[in-house]
Amino acid sequence: MLDKKTLSNELVKLIPMIKEDFEWVYAAASDPGIWEQHPDKLRYSPIGFTKYFQKLIETDIPYLIIDQNTEQVIGATSFYQFDEANKSVAIGYSFLKTEYWGGLYNKSIKQLMMDFAFQEVDKVIYHVRKDNLRSKAALAKIGAIEESEYPAEDGSGIQVQFSIQKKDYQ
């Protein structure tokens, strides 16, 4: 298991999340535009967000994403499905406020998390829905390779698994 600890670089700070962070994360997630390409398009609503937050908080290490300049919560992410036998971990349940899209923030966050993960594992995995073009493009930008497609567990579409191997990580 990865250690629960704060991770930071010049752009962001990732702080391990607790249940009491609900309001901070909801404030960042309440824009419907964030969830346009997600199967649960109502995650911006109190009920939709509560379901998401419960899943996020139950992952191995959920994080608040804090902008280093403003000290505001700008999103959330997590490590999940840590697999000691296969030396792998997934990164996901991630979102950023729309004003942080398309720039350096996603790459910076993923790089920070992969730098940390590759101290313990050999493979980082990402899961996205097949029709989530934004997330797939973001994964391509960081060098993730598509591995497989399969039906989502909840029956809401096709899930795509991407990965980056430690040996291929720069």
Q: What is the pLDDT of residue 157?
A: 83
Q: What is the pLDDT of residue 135?
A: 87
Q: Which amino acid is at 32?
A: P
Q: What is the pLDDT of residue 113?
A: 97
> Greater confidence, 75 or 40?
75
Closest by CA position to 127, among listed 63, 80, 85? 80
User: Mean of the pLDDT values across residues 100-125?
Assistant: 94
Domain boundaries, the chain: 7-121
Task: Return the exposure string of 69-84: e unless at least 16 CB atoms fall within 10 Å of the residue's CB, then b.
Answer: eeeebbbbbbbbebee
Q: What is the pLDDT of residues 115-162, one digit of tens each?
A: 999 999 999 999 998 988 888 988 998 899 999 999 988 787 899 999
d(C-alpha 104, C-alpha 11), whole Å:
8
> Greater confidence, 33 or 39?
33
Counting residues of the chain whose pLDDT is more than 70, the rounded percentage is 100
CB atoms within 10 A of CB 170: 7
d(C-alpha 26, C-alpha 46), whole Å:
8
Q: Is the pLDDT of residue 72 over 80?
A: yes
Question: What is the CATH architecture of 7-121?
Answer: 3-Layer(aba) Sandwich (3.40)
CB atoms within 10 A of CB 157: 13
